[in-house]
C-alpha cells in the first residue's frame, strides 16, 4: 500500500543529507568504487586502444583508440551506477541502517531521489576522470558537452534506479551480482563498446538493435565523434523512456515499502 504524500518533496535538507551520505560512502570505499574503473580503463586503452588499435585503423572516422573511449566511459558508468546503488540499498537493509531513513520525515520520492542524484554525481566523477584520461592518452574528448552530460545523466538515472530495485529485491549480496554478471556485462560488451555494429554480421546487427546498451553507447559516442550507427533521437528516446520506467519502478517499490516496511 502506498501512503499519502509518498511522492512529495518537502524535506530538501534530508534529500541533501542522503546525497552527502552516499558520496561519503563512495569516499570511504574509494578503492572499490573510483579507482578500479579508472585502472581498468587505462588497461583497456593500452591493450585494445593503443596496442591492437594501431592495427585496426579508423572506426567511425576516428582512430580506434578515440572510438573506444566513449564506450569505456559508458561501461564504467553503467557498472558503477548499478553496482554501488544496489550494494548501498541492500547493505542498508541487511544492516538495518536504512531504518534511519524510514523513521525520519522523508518521503519515498526524497529517498529514491537521494540515491539517484548521488548516483548521477558518482557517474559524472567516473566519467570525468576517464574523459581526462582520454584527453591525456588518446587526445580525444567530447565535442558536444551538453549531449555528454545528458547521456551520462540518463544512464545514471536508469542504472541507479535498477540498482535500487535489485537492492530491494535481493536476499543476499550474491543477488546484486546476478544482474551485473548475466545482464549488464554481456549486453555492454556486445552493445558497441569495442566495435561499431556495422562491423558485425547482418543477423547480429539486427539482434543488437534489441540491446538497450547499444543505444546508450551509440548516443554517448555521438558526443565525441559526431557520428552514430542509428538516429540520435531514437537512441535518446529509448534511453530516456527506459530511465523513466526504471525510476518509476524504484519509486513505486520504495513507496510501497517493498521489503522495507513489514
Give me the residues that bind other proteins (CB under 8 A), please. 1, 3-5, 10-11, 13-14, 16-18, 20-21, 24-25, 28-29, 95-97, 99-107, 257, 261-262
Rounded distance, CA 222 to CA 224, Å?
5
User: What is the closest distance, in whole angstroms, from the C-beta atom of residue 119 to other proteins in the complex?
Assistant: 16
Minimum distance, C-beta of residue 161 to other proteins, in the bound complex (Å): 21
Write the CA distances from 66 to 24, 70, 74, 194, integer angstroms: 33, 8, 14, 11
Cα gap 179→197, rounded to integer Å:
24
CB of 31 to other proteins, least distance (A): 14
Indicate if the alpha-carbon torsion angle 136, 137, 139, 141 is positive or negative.
negative
Q: Map residue 62 onto helix, strand or coil.
A: strand
Cα–Cα distance measured from residue 167 to residue 187, given in angstroms and rounded to the nearest whole number: 20
- Smallest distance from other proteins to CB 257, Å: 6
Q: Which residue lies nearer to other proteins by CB, 25 or 122?
A: 25
| Residue number with CB closer to other proteins (23 or 244) | 23
Residue 93 C-beta: closest distance to other proteins, Å: 11
CA 81 to chain CA mean position, Å? 4
Q: Would you say 30 or 136 has its CB closer to other proteins?
A: 30
- The answer to whether residues 248 and 94 touch, using CB atoms and an 8 Å cutoff, is no
Which helix (H) or strand (E) segment is 227 a member of? none
Task: Tell me the closest approach of the beta carbon of residue 168 to other proteins, in angstroms.
Answer: 15
Considering the complex, state which of residue 57 and residue 105 has its C-beta at the smaller distance from other proteins: 105
Nearest to 73 by CA among 166, 143, 156: 156
Per DSSP bridges, beta strands 62-63 and 58-59 are antiparallel
Q: Which is nearer to other proteins, 107 or 161 (CB)?
A: 107
Q: How far apart are CA 216 and CA 223, in angstroms?
A: 11
Nearer to other proteins, 102 or 150 (CB): 102
Q: Which residue, 97 or 143, has its beta carbon nearer to other proteins? A: 97
Q: What does the alpha-carbon distance between residue 97 and residue 223 come to, in Å, rounded to a whole number?
A: 40
Nearest distance from residue 24's CB to other proteins, in Å? 6
Amino acid at each position: 500500500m502506498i501512503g499519502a504524500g509518498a511522492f512529495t518533496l518537502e524535506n530538501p535538507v534530508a534529500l541533501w543529507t542522503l546525497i552527502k551520505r552516499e558520496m561519503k560512502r563512495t569516499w570511504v570505499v574509494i578503492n572499490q568504487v573510483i579507482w578500479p574503473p579508472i585502472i581498468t580503463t587505462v588497461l583497456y586503452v593500452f591493450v585494445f586502444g593503443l596496442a591492437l588499435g594501431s592495427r585496426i585503423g579508423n572506426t567511425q572516422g576516428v582512430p580506434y583508440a578515440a572510438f573506444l573511449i566513449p564506450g569505456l566511459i559508458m561501461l564504467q558508468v553503467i557498472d558503477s551506477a548499478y553496482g554501488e546503488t544496489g550494494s548501498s540499498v541492500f547493505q542498508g537493509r541487511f544492516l538495518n541502517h536504512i531504518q534511519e531513513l524510514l523513521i525520519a520525515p522523508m518521503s519515498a520520492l526524497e529517498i529514491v531521489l537521494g540515491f539517484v542524484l548521488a548516483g548521477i554525481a558518482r557517474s559524472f566523477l567516473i566519467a570525468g576522470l576517464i574523459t581526462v584520461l582520454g584527453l591525456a592518452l588518446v587526445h580525444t574528448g567530447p565535442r558536444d558537452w551538453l549531449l555528454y552530460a545528458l547521456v551520462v545523466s540518463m544512464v545514471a538515472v536508469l542504472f541507479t534506479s535498477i540498482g535500487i530495485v535489485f537492492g530491494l529485491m535481493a536476499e543476499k549480496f550474491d543477488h546484486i551480482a546476478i544482474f551485473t554478471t548475466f545482464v549488464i556485462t554481456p549486453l555492454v560488451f556486445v552493445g558497441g563498446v569495442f566495435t561499431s555494429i556495422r562491423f558485425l554480421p547482418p543477423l547480429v546487427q539486427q539482434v543488437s538493435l534489441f540491446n538497450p546498451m547499444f543505444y546508450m553507447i551509440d548516443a554517448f559516442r555521438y558526443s565525441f565523434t559526431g557520428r552514430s550507427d542509428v538516429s540520435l533521437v531514437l537512441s535518446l528516446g529509448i534511453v530516456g523512456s527506459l530511465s523513466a520506467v526504471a525510476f518509476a519502478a524504484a519509486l513505486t517499490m520504495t513507496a510501497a515499502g517493498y521489503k522495507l516496511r513489514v
